[in-house]
Structure 1
Amino acid sequence: MARFSEHKLARRLLASLRGDMLLLADRNFAGYQLWGLARATGAHLAWRIKKNLVFVPLRVLSDGSYLSIMRTPAENIRHGQARAAGRTLTEPPRGHLVRIIEYTVTIHPQAGPPRTETFRLVTSLLDHRLAPAHQLARAYHQRWEIENGFAELKNRLRGAGFILRSKAPELIYQEIYALLTVYQALCALQTRAAEHGGTDPDRISFTVTVQLARLAVAAQAAADVTTLAAARREATTELLAALLPPRRNRQCQRIKKPSKNTFEVRKRDQTRTPSNVRYTLKVTKHPT
């Protein structure tokens, strides 16, 4: 797997995108070619971008965001050479028309002073009336939910002490795909239950979902269409009856043990700071 970069691996997932999706990605992925391939699927994009990338405003919108061009690689070289020579290019650059949103996230921890971090998003949603900047900023903030998804897949679905049984690489791939398939099915069940109850999917307990699925499998719930539909309705009712409390904002300290890591090393007797925090998102209005 080390032979492949994240960009190459990401391209394998593009076929799964649909026109009714909004794809979030971190700042490692924003680039002219990959952006074009992802947009060609019909899905809309909202990706974080690095602070050193230059996007010249074409038109500032009323919500503080602005339209710009994600330039082609050739245009980047041409404009870079012009800046180095002190020349100003008058013609518009070639590339993707995009919208830039800049905002800050202020974290108010239970202990210690608040800290503020600046974010920049590039999005294909150009109409600020249909997709206001503050809504897209909050949507990107949800990208961190994937960390909970990793924990569900690696720990809660497999169970304590579970390891892959297969010895051959092909069979290991088969086991991994089986786990991913089951996880996707459980997430679909959670989402349908949340839609039925008019609640946020993150309030549906994954642990309870796994327990109900195991009971349904043991009871041969998929024996026929009628039995499966009844089992699904029963599971939906039980999931909505066991809702989790509303998700609280949290932070996780970047303290790791490897010596080569730049983060502070956590000692065994060191207590962690409280993880509960309060977030404030504020869109930065670009000057007109």
Structure 2
Amino acid sequence: MFDRCYLSAELLINWQRRQQDAHWLVPVKGNTKYRIVKTFGEGDHLVEMQASPHARKLDNTLPEFWQARLIECEEGPGGYRGFITSLTEPETYPKDALRYVYQERWSIENGYGELKQFQLNTATLLRSQKAKGVYQEICGLLTAYNLIRMEMSQIAREAKVAPLRISFVMAMRLIQDELIWCSLGKPGTIPTKLRKMRENVKQFILPEKRKRPKERTVRISKTQYPVHSKHLK
């Protein structure tokens, strides 16, 4: 599964040429041009795209046109509206299953981002210097992340909102603070502290994501020199 910046005929065609059983899936860009060749169902098409002259100049084995399967989606995490894939058989690879797989991929990537950016505070290296210590540290980080997520799910259930509307940063900070206080208090006070913590986290429920009112556009930098850009009309 590639990010949209890897949508390239040269990369994707040659990726599949190297091994027949190798497949790919990548979100479409806003300016991706294609022609629908066949429709398998609602939001599920076989499309044809043109390889750029520049790509064919670098690799003369590329065809002038190449085909892929386009599956449209509602705008989701990352702003994607659909993706193309080499899995072109709808009977073998149902569109709903592929949509689920790609949405799951975004969830995993968001989890990695939260773990690296907030839990590790963007640290580039682990503290451990030995292999055994590295495994132990990674295990501790993953355990802590899943415990925070489990608590967020419980808070969301009580607040009757989706878990993604609970702020991970605020939940993590409040849980860290409560763990420190719980270590100093008596065991009998822990349930009360947990209930109070959950009520505090509810203050940081994120608003529902609004749909973008206008299409995303590229802002052209001002310059005194003539500019030739594909974004200018």
TM-score of the two chains, using structure 2 as the length reference: 0.48
Structure with the larger helix share:
2
Which has the larger strand fraction? 1
User: Of the two structures, which has the highest relative contact order with CA contacts closer than 8 Å and spacing of 6 or more?
Assistant: 1
